[in-house]
Amino acid sequence: MRILVVEDEPRLAALLRRGLIEEGHAVDLVGSGEEALEWVDVGEYDALVLDVMLPGIDGFEVCRRLRRRRAQLPILLLTARDAVADRVAGLDSGADDYLLKPFAFAELVARLRALGRRPPETVDTLLIAADVRLDPATRRVWKGETELQLPNKEFRILEYLMRHPGRVLTRTMIAEHVWDYDFPNVTNVIDVHIRQIRRKLDDPYPGVLIQTVRGAGYRLASRR
């Protein structure tokens, strides 16, 4: 998943970012509600981890504004305010879940996994393209009846392609989804990962399943 964390307390923000990266996610980090709205406008995220008490626009207002824009990304609120009225306000503003501080990091990760199963594009348990199956929940991939072992970045690139069959994904789009905005602008890195995925899928260049679109990027053949 690519996650935007909105937290103004530097130590907690750094811990969240490091922990989520170690769990295999791409993480961008901002410290205010205004920045959160700006980053959601320009980035493509799978989830938003949003502190309630922020400078300027608070987390409740960020939720309301995003929902007015019909933004569908899952939102997990973080707060030390444990009154029932506060929890109701958070859910009514458009949040999908609510986690009280202090919390166990394992619980945050579990809640994000649950939220990640909710968006329309993830209704199916398995992603399927030709004879390739990918299970986002268990992070397993099969070609036919053979299970493949893909490192984290290869798995996430393949998952991203399989979530958008038939769509041309540029190298920049892939980099921004699989890495964060600190990713160096070296398109050859993407090409190397694609070659490794194709080798494991027995899908040599120019690709039947993962197709090269010259001058643009890559496209996964539409499901069949």
Q: In this predicted structure, what is the pLDDT of residue 125?
A: 59
Across residues 142-163, what is the average pLDDT? 90
Alpha helices in 132-204 (DSSP H): 152-163, 171-178, 187-201
**Of 37-51, 84-98, 157-171, minimum mean pLDDT range:** 84-98
Q: Which two tokens stand for residue 208?
A: 């039947």
Whole-model pTM? 0.58
Q: Given pLDDT bands bounded at 50, 70 and 90, which one contains residue 173?
A: confident
User: Residue 54 contacts by C-beta under 8 Å, 6 or more apart in sequence?
Assistant: 6, 8, 31, 32, 33, 62
Q: In this predicted structure, what is the pLDDT of residue 72?
A: 78
Q: In this predicted structure, what is the pLDDT of residue 120?
A: 46
Q: Given pLDDT bands bounded at 50, 70 and 90, which one contains residue 13?
A: very high
- DSSP-derived secondary structure letter, 88: H
* Neighbour count for residue 96 (Cβ, 10 Å): 18
187 within 8 A of 215, measured Cβ to Cβ: no
pLDDT digits (tens, 9 = 90+) for 23-71: 888 899 999 999 999 999 888 888 999 999 998 899 999 998 988 876 7
Which residue ranges form the domains of the chain, and what is each CATH number?
A: 2-120 (3.40.50.2300), 124-220 (1.10.10.10)
Q: Say if residue 224's pLDDT is above 60.
A: no
Partners of 183 in the β-ladder: none
Q: Given pLDDT bands bounded at 50, 70 and 90, which one contains residue 121?
A: very low
Q: Given pLDDT bands bounded at 50, 70 and 90, which one contains residue 164?
A: confident
Q: Say if residue 124's pLDDT is above 50.
A: no
> Between residues 115 and 78, which one has the greater pLDDT?
78
pLDDT digits (tens, 9 = 90+) for 190-219: 889 999 999 999 988 777 899 998 888 899
